[in-house]
Amino acid sequence: MVSSVKTALGVFCFVMAKTMQLRLQKPPIGCDMRCKQTIRVMPAVKRAQAAFTLVEVLAALTLMAIVIPVAVEGLRIAGKAGEVGQRKTAAARIAERVLNESMVTGQLRGATQNGVVQEGTIQYQWSTRSEPWPQDSMRLVTVQVIFPVQGRDYDVRLSTLVDNSTQ
């Protein structure tokens, strides 16, 4: 903290001296601090050693060539995972609604039913399948909803058992 204040004061005094073209033997009027003009000139040998070598530059470029594509791919995968999660939620909601409607209307005895639900710009294709359950007098009803994410199809399946005697 103290060194940064001293540095700031030194820069302030140097700028004041340059603007007023003074050598700063005494402080400017109204300035009760003592300022000392310091200009450090680096010798030519040290200046040549202060630069980056070709090997260091190539190493940095190689590291960037490896890290940047990996980071971009990570962001792409994270975005895709978020989009899949949102659409799975919507697909589960659609499957539940189709299953409930089929149970209420009594359309579960048919072999298969299918349709398309549009939500925004996304089309969710659904299909129902009813098959006999091996135990008791029940049927297994499954609703499958298919949806696209970045050119690939994903699906959500929702199943329930329905008593044949109530149909």
Query: 30-66, pLDDT tens digit by residue?
Result: 655 665 666 666 666 666 667 889 999 999 999 999 9
Mean predicted lDDT score pLDDT of the chain: 80
Is the domain of 94 the same as that of 161? yes
Write down the pLDDT at residue 142: 93
Whether the predicted pLDDT of 102 surpasses 90? no
Write down the pLDDT at residue 17: 54
In a domain, 70, yes or no: no
Is the domain of 37 the same as that of 91? no
CATH of the domain at 92: 3.30.1300.30
Whether the predicted pLDDT of 151 surpasses 80? yes
In a domain, 12, yes or no: yes
Cα–Cα distance between 106 and 86 in angstroms, integer?
30
Please give the residue that has the higher pLDDT: either 1 or 94: 94
Lowest mean pLDDT among 15-29, 59-73, 104-118: 15-29
Write down the pLDDT at residue 3: 52
Q: Range of 110's domain?
A: 83-166
Angle among Cα 92, 153, 129 to the nearest 5 degrees reads 55
Number of domain units in the chain: 2
Q: Which two tokens stand for residue 7?
A: 């540095």
Is the domain of 36 the same as that of 100? no
Phi, psi at 161, each rounded to 5°? -100, 135
Residue among 136, 143, 129, 142 at smallest CA distance from 164: 136
